[in-house]
Amino acid sequence: MTASEKKPRISFTRLMPLIIIAALLGLVFAMGWHEYLRPRVIADSTDALQMFVRENYVLAILVFMAIYIVVVALMFVPGAGILTILGGFLCGWLLAWLSVIFAATIGATIAFLVAKSAIGDYLRARAGPALDRLAKGFEEDAFHYLMFLRLVPLFPFWLVNIAPAFLGVRLRTYVVTTFFGIIPGTLAFAYLGGSLDSIFTSAQANEGFQACLADETSGTVAAGSCDLPINFGDLLTTEIFIAFVALGLVALIPVVLRHLRGRKAS
C-alpha cells in the first residue's frame, strides 16, 4: 500500500457527525429556538424560570446542563455566556459554575471529536509544509497553548473548541485543558448572574430601547423586534480581562523557557 493510499479520505460515513450537527443547527434557526437566548426574551421569562427552578430544582439543573451541552456542541449557536449568567441568576453562582464547567467540557469535547473525525485527520494528512510545521509546533506544547487560549477570551469559544482538531491535539490534553482552562471565565460569568436583575433594569430604561418599544406599539416596527441593548461579553470589566490575560501568560511561561533553553543550547 502506497503512502497516498494510507491517507484518510473524506467519506459519507466520516462526514455523518458533521452533517448531523449542521442539520440540528439548521433546525434550531429554522424553528427560531435561538430566539429564546435573546436578552429581552430572557428578561420577560425570569419569573417563570425562577418558579420552575423552585419547584423542580434537580430537574432544572439537569435540563440546564443538557441545554448547555447542546449549545456548545452545535459550535456556532451563540449563547453560552448568556446561559452561564442566567444559571448564576437562577441557581446561584456556585452550583451554576460547577454545572457549566462539566457541561461546557462535554459539549466542547463533542464538537472536537466531530471536527476531528469528519475532516480534521483528512486536513492534517494533506496539510502543506507551513501548516504541518504549525501543527508540529503546537503539538509540542499543546497543553500550554490550549490553556492560554482557554484562559484568555481573545477568540470565540466555538473556534477554540474545533481548531485543536486540525492540529493533532490528543483527546486527553484537550479535555484536561478545557476543564481547567474555562474555570476562571465561567466563574466570572456565573457570578455576574447575581446582578442580572439590575442589568435588565438598566437596559430596559435605555432611551433607545424605550423609543423602539414606542415604535412597536405604533406598529412602525414588528412586535417583538426590539431587544435589550446588552452585550453580555462586554459585562466583563477591563480589570477582569487583564487578570485573564495574566493567567494566560503564566500558562505560556514553560513554552518561553523551553525556547530560551533551546536557543542557548544551540
Task: Give the pLDDT of residue 240.
Answer: 77
Instruction: Count the domains in the chain.
Output: 1
Q: d(Cα 233, Cα 240) in Å, to the nearest integer? A: 12
Asked whether residue 178 is domain-assigned, the answer is yes
Whole-number percent of the chain with pLDDT over 90: 29
The three-class DSSP label of residue 83 is helix
| More confident site: 122 or 19 | 19
Global pTM?
A: 0.83
- Residue 83: is its pLDDT beyond 70? yes
Asked whether residue 85 is domain-assigned, the answer is yes
Asked whether residue 124 is domain-assigned, the answer is yes
Asked whether residue 4 is domain-assigned, the answer is no
Residue that is written with C-alpha cell 461546557 in the block: 104
Per-residue burial over 192-208, b if 16 or more Cβ lie within 10 Å, else e, is bbeebeebbeebbeeee
Q: How far is CA 151 from CA 144, 160, 227, 262, in A?
A: 10, 11, 30, 26
Asked whether residue 222 is domain-assigned, the answer is yes
Task: Domain of residue 250: give its range.
Answer: 9-266
Count of Cβ atoms closer than 10 Å to residue 221 Cβ: 14
Asked whether residue 3 is domain-assigned, the answer is no
Asked whether residue 1 is domain-assigned, the answer is no
